[in-house]
Amino acid sequence: MEKGVVPYRKHLSSDADLVTTYEATRAGFILQALERSKRATPHVEEARSLRVAAAAAKDPAALLSIQALYGALLTAAGVSDKAAKQMNDNDKDEAIEGFIAGYLEPAGGEFVEELVYRFLLTRGDALGGTMRNVAGVWGRQRVLRSLVAALGIQSKRYEWRHGASHKWIRGSKDDPKIEESADALAWKTGTKPRLLVFNKKPSFIGMNVDVCILQCVRSQFDARKNDPVGYLALGELKGGVDPAGADEHWKTARTTLQRVRTEFSKHEQSPDTFFIGAAIAPKMAEEIWGQLQGKVLANAANLTVPSQITSLCQWLANL
């Protein structure tokens, strides 16, 4: 970063630059549709297997005698996997019996089709929840990949934490899918350690923050996460591309970031705050731009514009 250049001015010249284009929205919807189709495939295959297995029953009541269908019957009754964990066996039996009496028996000879249809309804609801989470994951992956690239261009060594195993791995140029596995990055700016973590809830803030960057070595995080001293930047990251949810995402992010600034000020600390969003409407862009000019936000970027994310991640890499 050139001396004296305001970070966001490297990639933004006005609020209009923040607005998500129609083309970017369309591309995002296509990507989501393809991902939904991919994730739906296992559910469709389950439904096909269910149809074949249930066809062995001469009537709805006979389904109860096929032990292998118990879980599918529970799902078709509208009981999610999460809800099932909170129910005892009697509750589950009651739900299934009520479902058979209320929906399958009235379907007559079409009870197998009704069973499969109800099964897919429940699985579809679960898939909808998964897709809402996918948008956040996509956003995180884009930021991770761009930040790794920024560190690589500057020949900065880094380590990344494997999200599933929590093992730290030394970064290399041969990590083609690091963004799909990593949930934290560690590097140095000069001789000072830097640590980026996602979706943490510092006790003194009392809210989850999407992105936190601290000045600490990775082994110190658990001891330092609830200490206001050492935080360099905190940001909100909203990866959903649907314009209908843009304002709500910004309101949520704005509230969180204001809470961050308020709580840190109580401890006489003032880390930078930033916002990254995929769906940014014109009115929303005006407000974000106003916060940038007013030095409320230190930086912001549209997730669908690669040059903006690259610039913001270069800033993060050099904090």
Q: Which residues is 300 bridged to in the sheet? A: 275
Residue 165: other Cβ atoms inside 10 A: 9
pTM of the predicted model as reported, rounded to 2 decimal places: 0.76
Tell me the β-bridge partners of 195.
186, 214
What is the C-alpha to C-alpha distance for residues 279 and 213, in angstroms, rounded to an integer?
Answer: 24
Interatomic CA distance for residues 283 and 312, integer angstroms = 22
Q: Per residue of the chain (319 residues), what is the pLDDT tens digit?
A: 455 579 999 999 999 999 999 998 888 887 777 777 777 788 888 899 999 999 999 999 999 999 999 999 999 999 888 888 889 999 999 999 999 999 999 999 999 999 999 998 888 777 666 556 666 678 888 899 999 999 999 999 999 999 888 899 998 876 767 888 888 999 999 999 999 999 999 999 999 999 999 999 988 888 889 999 999 999 999 988 888 888 998 999 999 999 999 999 999 999 999 999 999 999 999 999 999 999 999 999 999 999 999 999 999 999 9
pLDDT digits (tens, 9 = 90+) for 195-209: 999 999 999 999 999
Domains of the chain in start order, with CATH, are 7-35+134-317 (3.40.91.10), 36-129 (1.10.238.90)
Q: Is the Cβ–Cβ distance between 317 and 234 less than 8 Å?
A: no
Q: What is the dihedral of CA 55, 58, 61, 62, to 10 degrees?
A: -70
